[in-house]
Every structure is written in structure tokens, then in C-alpha cells.
Amino acid sequence: MFFRWDWLRPQLTAPIVPTLGPVHPDVLTVGIFEDTLRAAETGDFLSYDKDRRWGGQKDEKVLRDDVVHQREHTLIPTLSRRGRGTAKVFAYGLRDSVVEEAAELAAKLAAVHDVVSARVVRSLGPETTHPRGTRIQLKDFTVGPCPDPGGPVRPVTAWPTAVQETFAPFAETMAGDGLAFLHTQLEAGRCGPVLAAAIEDRIVGAIGPMEVLPDSIGRPQLMPQYFAVLPEARGRGLGRVLWRAAMHWGQSHGAAYQLLQTEVDGPSDRLCQTEGLTSLGFTHTTAA
């Protein structure tokens, strides 16, 4: 075993795991960190990796030989060749100096591996005041019902053909939110259903794909979705209706929970806060 849990556990202020992203607190064990090291050696997806939905090979991997694991802090570097490449260091530790050490390591690894970007990801606890970056939120489907909100929401394929044809231009307009990628996956039949909201026979919002997969201990998890509403259609409550429809779908299909990442103080963050989700902490990414 590479990691000492008695060293690492006190450093985990938020449940974020390199190459995997947020995980449920119940699965945050030394085993899941060890799994990322094994995956780096084989290049395969872990069975519970959310990215395996998209096929291909795992792009980001842990640089095992460059991990710094000490009693006071742990630095876990990863490398991605996507685009012009990124060296990223996940910094775990309670002292602020851990960020400086991580930045130095990230810059060094970016040079060694000839990639353009060097970044540091630090996890922060839910009690953090004036947080920046991304909030990790938990929706627990076991604590109460998620009723169907009604409204003009249904799977894209359940809308009339003329309405379905408006999904492509909508997706292109919202490409920055990942909807163009989602559209290509949907067209190729590589993902689950996408829920869409339409007004006057035109799709103006969508959330998906809707898929439930087991986590590392076999518990069913509603996987993360892309989520967007056209700017001109905002302010009508469509985002909330779409989100509640997605939660109804997840609970109806047996999901125990969902983990979401929202930009602090962004529209999705404010929506989730008003919907009573539990904040598990934050991640703050900076350039090295």
C-alpha cells in the first residue's frame, strides 16, 4: 500500500480524488486513492469512473513517481495530454504553504512533460468563509421524495420531430456549457436520455445525460449532467423545473445520491443552495 491513511485522512478537507473528482464521503477511503495509482499503470478506466461513459481511453492519470506523501501534507500530481496538455497537482494539507509547494511541483512537471498548463487544485472544507472556485454538493435521494415538477419538460426524443430539430441549434449556442458535445453523444447513441424544456416549439433548456451507475462500493449514483438554459429564456423558473425533473428521474430510477460541482455564487450554485443540498466543501484551482 502506497498511502498511509492515518496521514492522508486528516488532510482531506473535501471529498475530491485526483482523476475521479468528487466522491461520496462514505467511499472516501485509502482504497480509492490506491485505485487511481493502479489505473495510472494500466491506462484503463476504473469501473466506477464517470468518464468511462464517453469511451476511449482515460486521458488524465496520476504521476505516481512524483507523489509527495508526508505526515503534514500530500501532493498528488496528474498529467493530461488533452489539448496542449496540463500538469495538475492536488494539494492536501492544512497549511497555506502547501499551495506554494504544489505550484513549484506543477511547474516542474509541466516542463518535464512538455505541456503548456500547470495548475494547483486545493480542497477546502465546508466551513470555509468567503470561498472561491467550485462547491461540491450532495443530493441525497433517500431522505425524501422528489416529485415530478411538471412543466414543459420531457426527453428530447419524446418531443415532436419539429421540436427535436431545434435541439441542434440550441446545443451549438450553448457549446460553452458542453451541450454541443452532449448533442454529438446523443446523436451517436452513446449516452442516456437528455431532458429538454421547450417554449413555443423550441428547445430552450436541457439537462443530461440521465444515467445511474454504481460507485466504488456498488451504490447507485446519478451521474453528473450538462445543464444549460438559453440566456433569453432565463428568469422564468425553467432551470429549477429542469433540475427538479432530473432529480425526479434519478430517484425514480433507483439512484441513492448525486454529487454536483457548482461555481461558487453562480446560477446553479444558488439554485442548489435553495434546494437544500448539502455542501461537502470546495475546490480552488489556480495557475502554478
pTM as predicted: 0.92
Give pLDDT tens digits for 202-220. Answer: 999 999 999 999 999 999 9
CA distance 153 to 238: 9
Give pLDDT tens digits for 82-134. Answer: 999 999 999 999 998 999 999 999 999 999 999 999 999 999 999 999 999 99
In this prediction, residue 57 carries a pLDDT of 84
Q: Which residue has the cell 433548456?
A: 205
CATH 3.60.15.10 applies to domain 143-255: no
Quickly count: other Cβ atoms within 10 Å of residue 100's Cβ: 13
Please tell me the number of Cα atoms within 13 Å of 248 on its side-chain side. Answer: 15
DSSP structure string for 123-161: EE-TT-SS--SEEEEEEETTSS------SSEEEGGGS-H
Q: Cα angle vertex 188, ends 19, 166, to 5°?
A: 105
Give pLDDT tens digits for 162-187. Answer: 999 999 999 999 999 999 999 999 99
Q: What percent of the chain has pLDDT over 90?
A: 91
Residue 95 has what DSSP assignment? S
Amino acid in the structure at residue 231: P
Parse the chain into domains and list their residue ranges: 5-132, 143-255
